[in-house]
Chains A and B, each alone.
Chain A
Amino acid sequence: MTDLQADLQTGAALRAATGAEPGPAGSLWGDAWREMRGRAVFWLSTLTLAIAVAMAAFPGLFARFGPNERCDLRLFNRGPGDGAIFGYDQQGCDYWSQVVHGARASILIGIAVTVFALLISVVLGLLAGYYGGWLDAVIGRLTDVFFGIPFVLGATVILVAFPDHGIWAMTLVLVVLGWTTMTRLMRGQVIAVRQMDYVTAARMLGAGDLRIMLKHILPNAIAPVVVLATLNVGNVIAGEATLDFLGVGLQYPEVSWGLQLNAARAFYTTHPHLLIFPAVFLTATVLSFLLLGDVVRDALDPKLR
């Protein structure tokens, strides 16, 4: 939520930029694609993310063993070497396998939370922005309430109150705390687009509310929200890892980077490999999503260049 100001500014700038362009609706995304594919950062972050997603979807391709499998306590905390390129963790499990399996929680939660939050914000933003009036007021106050809850503290309360939670419960909590910024941006976009001539024209021609919202307003309002969503995936992954690290997120026997970093707390001065490997993977993933979001924003908003 700290980035609200910047995001709102971006939204305004994007609105100005996209609104001013007279071309057909498809050309914005077409231009953006041409702009993006010429940039090294785009390909670099896409490649990193492709690897991370592959690890999340098919860990068997990378890992030697399954999660928490074939652990040998005698190898407790042993450093890299002898076929175990990342060494062993405090249970004596092959650390490379464990780190690979950790990708699934992060990627799944990051993407699922963003998709659900995006859906909520598109629906609420369209309704609030299009109809206005009491509906807007109710949605606005609701957004204020959830916006007012600080992330780490709010999530801590919910997760402590419901201690038995897996990946999907974590997703729910992160969605509950994470839909507000996108909803506000979407509402603002819809209000700006609603006044356009082509919307009036469509209404004159007898188009219904639903058709106007989905066919005319949505495609022209969603670009900045998509940018924010891309950036959001990285933030969600970092947030989820923080909760795991604090001990309120996923619990053993789940495997995640945040949990590995939590477990590394007691040993990191003598066995730094426990800290370094999950930290590098986590950082690379979050960084790639943020860079990708930056590239998409630059491509959609020529004014910022």
Chain B
Amino acid sequence: MRYAAQRLIQAVPVFAATTFLIYAMVFALPGDPILALAGDKPVPEEVLDALRERYHLNDPLLVQYGIYMLGLFQGDLGETFTGQQVSELLAGRWGVTAQLALTAWIFELVVGVALGVIAALRRGGAVDTAVLAGTTFVIAVPVFVVGYGAQILLGVNLGLFPTAGVEHGWPVSYLLPGMVLGSFSLAYVARLTRTSLAENLRADYVRTAVAKGMRRRRVIGRHALRNSLIPVVTFLGVDFGNLMAGAVVTEGIFNLPGIGQQVFQSIQLQEGPVVVGIVTVLVMIFLAANLVVDLLYGVLDPRIRRA
């Protein structure tokens, strides 16, 4: 309990400072957004004043930030200067991004751990070498290159997967984008599992288990693997937030109507305030996810709590 409280108290300034940094940056956006709304036409001073009043633009930065945060905690994500609610813009998009992130997450969990275990059990063998080389390669190729490559080869040329859109529903439409989004983390999961398991296989308690005649399968499954998976679980937890954030690129490539695609489109259309509004929300989800993982980590590994 003390650990949880401590962690929560630590998270508050980080949370506040991060969101404030982003908010201050919007404040620094060049140009007068209200004047830009009017275009070339002259606007009466009263209208301008009314609009500035409505969006609290006359208040100092700190007050504006306070109002925004207050609204945020009441579920109000603010509105763009064209009067559209950010939450409205995002309605219906959350599901797509969550499904995509979930597909990627399951992919990296299942395939990543499996590859890591096989590599660790046959260290120095052909599979191990292949896993090491393959993961290095996957880490080195930028996600958007993987995305286009997979789209051309597996989608267009071989026709194994739908190439874009979501009309086939979950999971069919999400398989290829999910694999692309998860590929980077998959490489990390595989390597982490391999290193961790290989280290634990040399530990004294494993030798003891073998020495007392326990079957190999049981030694690995019950003892070594269970201990090895602690860092992997932590990584997978933090990564869910990363996947939500990383979806910007993948959704752009595969034309999935999620949060990321909205960001991608808004960047292309140069709608600064919309981008920042959405990104602020995403960053906060990311921070909250990290906090939850930290708390869970304390539950998983008692040594962390007492440290």
Contacts and interface: CB of A to CB of B under 8 A. Distances in A.
A283 B192 CA distance: 23
Given A144-B10, A268-B148, A247 B283 contact: no
Interface in A1-58: 2-3, 5-6, 9
Given A153-B282, A269-B152, A269-B156, A286 B17 contact: no
On chain B, which size bracket covers the interface? 35 or more
A49 to B, nearest CB: 13
Contact of B25 (A157, A261, A291): A157
A152 B245 contact: yes
Nearest to A162: B28
A268 B152 contact: yes
B70 to A, nearest CB: 21
A196 interface: no
A246 to B, nearest CB: 6
A245 B140 CA distance: 16
Contact of B152 (A150, A246, A247, A272): A272
A150 B280 CA distance: 11
B65 interface: no
Interface stretch (B49-57, B174-182, B268-276): B268-276
Interface in B143-189: 143-145, 148-149, 152, 156, 184-185, 188
B145 A9 contact: no
B148 A153 contact: no
Interface stretch (A63-71, A76-84, A206-214, A234-242): A234-242
A293 B149 CA distance: 26
A103 B28 CA distance: 32
B3 interface: no
Contact of A245 (B15, B144, B152, B272): B144
Given A153-B282, A156-B275, A287 B137 contact: yes
B18 A145 contact: yes
Contacts, number: 135
Dominant secondary structure at the B interface: helix
Given A149-B18, A242-B249, A161 B276 contact: yes
Given A242-B144, A248-B267, A5 B234 contact: yes
A160 interface: yes
Please report whether the interface of chain A is mostly helix, strand, loop or mixed according to DSSP: helix
Contact of A2 (B13, B15, B239): B239
A267 to B, nearest CB: 11
Contact of B148 (A163, A248, A275): A275
A238 B28 contact: no
Contacts of B280: 157
A286 B10 contact: no
B264 A246 contact: yes
Nearest to A158: B25
A2 B22 contact: no
Nearest to B26: A161
Contacts of A286: 140-142
Contacts of B120: none
B163 to A, nearest CB: 9
Interface string B119-142: 000000000000000001101111
A6 B140 contact: no
B241 A150 contact: yes
A156 B267 contact: yes
B287 A148 contact: yes
B248 interface: yes
B307 interface: no
Given A9-B195, A294-B136, 6 more contacts: A145-B14, A157-B276, A238-B142, A261-B145, A279-B145, A290-B136
User: What are the 8 tightest A-B residue pairs by CB atom distance, in nearest-first order?
Assistant: A287-B140, A161-B25, A145-B17, A150-B245, A286-B140, A279-B145, A238-B142, A153-B279
30 contacts: A2-B184, A2-B188, A2-B242, A5-B235, A6-B195, A141-B13, A144-B14, A145-B14, A148-B283, A149-B283, A150-B282, A152-B248, A153-B282, A156-B275, A157-B279, A160-B276, A161-B25, A161-B29, A161-B272, A162-B28, A238-B142, A241-B142, A245-B142, A268-B148, A268-B152, A279-B149, A283-B145, A287-B141, A290-B140, A294-B136
